Amino acid sequence: MQIQVAQRLQHTEEYYFSRKLREIEALNQTGEKVINLGIGSPDLPPHPTVIETLNEYASRPDTHAYQNYKGILPLRQAVAAWYNRWYGVSLDPNANVLPLIGSKEGIVHVCMTYLQEGDEALFPNPGYPAYAAAVRLSGATGIPYRLEEKHGWLPNLDELAKQDLSKVKIMWLNYPHMPTGTPATAAFFKEVVAFAKQYNILLCHDNPYSFILSGQPLSLLATEGAMDVAIELNSLSKSSNMAGWRVGMLAGAEGRIQEIIRFKSNMDSGMFLPVQMAAAKALSLGHEWYEELNANYRRRREKVYRLLDALGCTYSLQQVGLFVWAKIPTMHPDGYALSDTILQQSRVFITPGGIFGDGGTGYIRVSLCATPAVLDEAYSRIVHAQAKAANSL
C-alpha cells in the first residue's frame, strides 16, 4: 500500500545537512575519518554553572511535570534582563517574551501563524534554508530577495520597492547574516523598519549570531518604532554553546506573542523545567564568558583563513559569526564542485554556498566549530592532496 505525502511536502526536500551527514558516515566506514567543517554546532561546552544548574533541578522530584506554554517566569525575566543589558531593549517578561524549543521551531511557528495560501513572504538569497522551507510549508509563496557582495550583502530596498508587495505579509531578515557573516548596523535597521512601515510588512529578524565575534551585539528591536512592525528570534545555541539543548526565544509586541502562542500551544507542551532554569543561568553570565568564547573563535578563524588561502579563496576580514564565507577561485565551476573535490581528495567537508540559494553558488562556507588542532589537520590534508595532484600532472 502506498500513501502519498501531503502536497505541502511535494517540493520540500530533506535538509541538505541531513543527507550529507549520511554520505560522510559512509565515507567514514571506508577508512580515514572525514573532518566536518560544515555545520555550526559549537564543540565547546556551556559554562560549568549552567550544567550545575541543570543537574541541581533535574535531581529534584518536583521538576518533571508539564510546563507553562509561555515558559517559566524566571526564564522570561532572564531573557528580558539579557535584552536590556546587552541590546538596550526594554521587554516586559509577562508580555513581550516567548521561550522556544530552539529558534528553528520559531521560524515554523511564525510562518504557520501568519501565512497561508495566497500570501507572499520575502526571504534572503543566500540565506538560511529554513526560511524558504517554512514559508513553503505554510502554503504561502516565497519570494527570494537577492543579496550580493557588491552591495555589502544587504537587501536593496529601493529595488524591492519596485516590486508588487501587495501580497507580502512578512520579510525574513538575519543580521549578523548567515552565511555571509555580514554584521548588523543600526543604520540599516532604521531603513528596513521604515520600509516595513511603508508597505505594511511584518519584519521577522533571526538574531542568533550577534555575540559571536561581532563586538557590540545589536537587536533590531532597539530601533525606534521596530516593536510596531517587527519580531525577533534569538537563541542560546551559539552564544552559550547550547545547540543540542534547544533553547530559543521570541521577542515582540504582546499581541504578536499571543498570536504565535495560539499556534505553538498546539504543537508542544513546554520545555523541561531544569533546561529552562539552566538557560536562565546562561543568560546571566557576564562579559568574561563572551570574551573567552570569542577569544577561542578568533584563534580558530586565523586557522580557517590559512586553509582558505591554500584553496585560493578570497574573503572579507570584516565578517562576523560562527563561519567564514569565501569566494571560490575561477578554476572551479561552483562551490559544490570545490566542496566535492575537497571531500573526496582530502576527506574534509566544507559547505557549498549554493545550498543557501543560487546567490551563494560561487562561494563556500567554513565553520569555526572545530579545535585548532582539527583545523590544522584539515589544512595539512588539503595541502597534501594539492601537492599529490600537482605531482601527478
59 and 195 assigned to the same domain: yes
208 and 220 assigned to the same domain: yes
236 and 135 assigned to the same domain: yes
Q: What is the pLDDT of residues 191-204, one digit of tens each?
A: 999 999 999 999 99
Q: Are 242 and 41 in contact (CB under 8 A)?
A: no
With CA atoms as reference, report the closest residue to 249 among 120, 122, 89: 89
Residue with cell 507580502: 168
Round the average pLDDT of the chain to a whole number and report it. Answer: 94
- Determine phi and psi for 327, rounding to 5 degrees: -85, 135
Q: How confident is the model over 17-27, as a mean pLDDT? A: 77
Which of these three, 284, 304, 332, is where a domain ends?
Answer: 284
278 and 308 assigned to the same domain: no
Q: Is residue 2 part of a domain?
A: no
Residue 209: predicted pLDDT: 97
301 and 208 assigned to the same domain: no
CA distance 264 to 113: 9
| DSSP letter (8 states) at residue 245 | G
Kindly report which listed range (28-42, 135-149, 183-197, 267-281) carries the lowest average pLDDT score: 28-42
Q: Is residue 167 part of a domain?
A: yes
Number of domains in the chain: 2
156 and 264 assigned to the same domain: yes
Q: Is residue 212 part of a domain?
A: yes
Residue 388: predicted pLDDT: 85
Neighbours of 78 (CB within 10 A): 24
Residue 204: predicted pLDDT: 98
Q: What is the pLDDT of residues 242-254, one digit of tens each?
A: 999 999 999 999 9
Q: Is residue 1 part of a domain?
A: no
Angle, helices 73-82/273-283, rounded to nearest 10 degrees = 20
Residue 8: predicted pLDDT: 75
Which of these three, 284, 311, 341, is where a domain ends?
Answer: 284
Q: Is residue 21 part of a domain?
A: yes
DSSP, residue by residue, 160-174: HHTS--TTEEEEEE-
And the C-alpha cell for 257? 506573542
**Stretch (H or E) spanning 116:** none
Q: Is residue 156 part of a domain?
A: yes
115 and 224 assigned to the same domain: yes
CA distance 55 to 49: 10
Q: Is residue 368 part of a domain?
A: yes
Domain at 292, CATH number: 3.90.1150.10
127 and 25 assigned to the same domain: no
Handedness of CA 238, 240, 241, 245 (dihedral sign): negative
Q: What is the pLDDT of residues 125-169, one digit of tens each?
A: 999 999 999 999 999 999 999 999 999 999 999 999 999 999 999
- Check pLDDT > 80 for residue 17: no
Q: What is the pLDDT of residues 312-358, one digit of tens each?
A: 999 999 999 999 999 999 999 999 999 999 999 999 999 999 999 99
Q: How confident is the model over 177-183, as a mean pLDDT? A: 97
Q: How confident is the model over 10-22, as a mean pLDDT? A: 69
Q: How confident is the model at residue 96 (pLDDT cuts 50, 70, 90)?
A: very high
Domain at 270, CATH number: 3.40.640.10
Which of these three, 264, 284, 304, is where a domain ends?
Answer: 284
CA distance 7 to 130: 18
Handedness of CA 122, 127, 130, 132 (dihedral sign): positive
What SS3 state is found at 232? Answer: strand
321 and 352 assigned to the same domain: yes
Residue 10: predicted pLDDT: 67
Residue 13: predicted pLDDT: 62
Q: How confident is the model at residue 14 (pLDDT cuts 50, 70, 90)?
A: low
Is the preceding omega at residue 144 within 30 degrees of 0, hence cis? Answer: no
What SS3 state is found at 83? Answer: helix
- Determine phi and psi for 155, rounding to 5 degrees: -65, 140
Residue 4: predicted pLDDT: 78
102 and 15 assigned to the same domain: no
For residue 265, give its domain range. Answer: 48-284
58 and 148 assigned to the same domain: yes
The two beta strands, 314-315 and 248-251, are unpaired
104 and 179 assigned to the same domain: yes
- Determine phi and psi for 235, rounding to 5 degrees: -155, 155
